[in-house]
Amino acid sequence: MIPKSIKWRLQLWYGLILVAVLVGFGVTAYQLERNRVFRRVDDDLHRRANAVAQSLHRPPRGRPPDAPDQRGFPPPEPFDRENAPGPDGPPTFNLAPPIAALFDTNDASGFYFLIRSLRPGHAEIARSANAPKDAGTQFPEPPARPQDAETGPPPGDISGDDRGSARGEIPGEPPQPVMRGSCRELMLLTPLGESVLVGKNVSPELTELRRSALNLSAIGGVILFIGLAGGRVLVGRALRPISDISHTAAKIAAGDLSQRINSAGTGSELGQLAAVLNATFARLETAFAQQKQFASDAAHELRTPVSVILTQTQTALTRERDAASYRQTVEACQRAAQRMRKLIESLLELARFDAGQEALKRLDFDLSATVADCVELVQPLAEERRVKISAELKPLRITGDSERLAQVVTNLLTNAIQFNRPDGEARVKLEAREGLAVLEISDTGQGIAPDDLPHVFERFYRADKSRTGAGNSGLGLAICKAIVEAHSGVIEVSSGEKAGTTFTVRLPLAI
């Protein structure tokens, strides 16, 4: 069974590949060495076999008998084939001394030869003293030749490329040395009817090769061990950051969102992964904190109206009351319910903006007309609070949802009236500036304290704690911001204490 861990699988594959490479390399090296050793032996065998074979035939006609042949061998001693011994005849044949010197007959591991007649009976013509008894038994019995060997193929040089034709069997196929036990032997058939077998006991070479193989195996084993150990260390080091990451991720999964992965080596792929994960965790943490705060705030906002309903109804039910008293209770409950409805609507609206699900219309319209409508809408409230509204509106076309933007304008105007002083002024100004529609709504009220100013667009943040009444959910400016930003716009606030507050909305003009 293959282990599941990447570390072990990597090591397993690495080990298998390493073994394959080492075995391939070792086998190749051994083969090369073996070929080299045997080629040397084979060359010697061929050389000796040819020398022996040549010494058996007469020199070609028209050639001086004492002229040395191409390879410097002395002219062979004529061999009296007619008087060659029969199958039972004693070996009376002797090689010429220079050729005999090629065979060290005293050395058990040296070269040996065996010459036999191809005539029926295969009588042995000559053999060296160190030739084993079973020499040549691995070769198939050569076909016997008739007596009149002269009718055979004309004599030729049995050497070099022509060696194959000497056997008169398969032209072009040179005779190949064959192993017999620990001996390597080569058999040539001369055209005149002899088989020449030359052999060598290659035990020393085989021993040498075995030692080489052992050496190669030992070196391969050491390299394999070092490679595996090094691989283990490398794999461990390469995978260490992954286990760090998974540890940290596990902690985060367990709920501790403040944990971060150590991304010291940010250059590597894993460092980049750690950085990406950290950024994701940071976003998650922020989103979680915001979500928690939002839920807690929403619950908090709902507590007050629920308290009103509970207290009102519990008080009303303690005893019998008159109709007017019940009516008061019901009205108070209705006010509380309205407040909850408004809160829930605002929360849902914000949630839709958060999720990007709020469907906004994308139509060209004149923003100044929308603003003028809003001014008209809040006029009664302004009169009630004795606030004068002055509007300076230039016609501007923008693309977007006029109803949603009217909601923003109305909200800002209502604030400008409610936070104004009596006999104060609310100014509305709309103009094009730097390619943007710029709407400014300012009041002459108390202004917002510098501490509160950065927070006014936060959900449930109330700069003035007194406005916890039914009309104010603490979400109005947060919704304004969401709507403006959904129109690719910006909303800003500036305020000086006692100098009034100005809200500025910038929106892209219609193209």
Closest approach of other proteins to the CB of residue 241, in Å: 38
Q: Which is nearer to other proteins, 218 or 310 (CB)?
A: 310
The Cβ of residue 434 has, within 10 Å, a number of other Cβ atoms equal to 6
Q: Which is nearer to other proteins, 27 or 470 (CB)?
A: 470
Q: Which is nearer to other proteins, 394 or 498 (CB)?
A: 498
Distance, first Cα to last Cα, the chain: 67
Burial class, 397, CB count within 10 angstroms (exposed 0-12 / middle 13-18 / buried 19+): middle
Q: Which is nearer to other proteins, 303 or 361 (CB)?
A: 303
Q: Which is nearer to other proteins, 223 or 344 (CB)?
A: 344
Closest approach of other proteins to the CB of residue 455, in Å: 16
Q: Which is nearer to other proteins, 29 or 316 (CB)?
A: 316
Closest approach of other proteins to the CB of residue 14, in Å: 55
343/336 Cα distance (integer angstroms): 11
Q: Is 423 helix (H, G, I), strand (E, B) or coil?
A: coil
E strands, 344-449, are 363-366, 388-393, 397-400, 425-433, 436-442
Tokens encoding 410: 């109305």
Closest approach of other proteins to the CB of residue 5, in Å: 44
Closest alpha carbon to 99 in 63, 55, 33, 56:
55
CA 484 to centroid of chain Cα atoms: 44
Closest approach of other proteins to the CB of residue 473, in Å: 14
204/110 Cα distance (integer angstroms): 10
What backbone torsions phi and psi does residue 254 show, to the nearest 5 degrees?
-75, -5
Sign of the alpha-carbon torsion through 333, 339, 345, 348: negative
Contact indicator for 178, 226 with CB cutoff of 8 Å: no
Closest approach of other proteins to the CB of residue 452, in Å: 14
439/508 Cα distance (integer angstroms): 11
List residues binding other proteins (CB under 8 A): 296, 300-301, 303-304, 306-312, 314-316, 318-319, 329, 332, 335-336, 464-469
Q: Which is nearer to other proteins, 92 or 338 (CB)?
A: 338
Closest approach of other proteins to the CB of residue 378, in Å: 23
User: Which strands form 178-180's sheet, in the order they lie side by side?
Assistant: 124-127, 111-117, 194-201, 183-189, 178-180
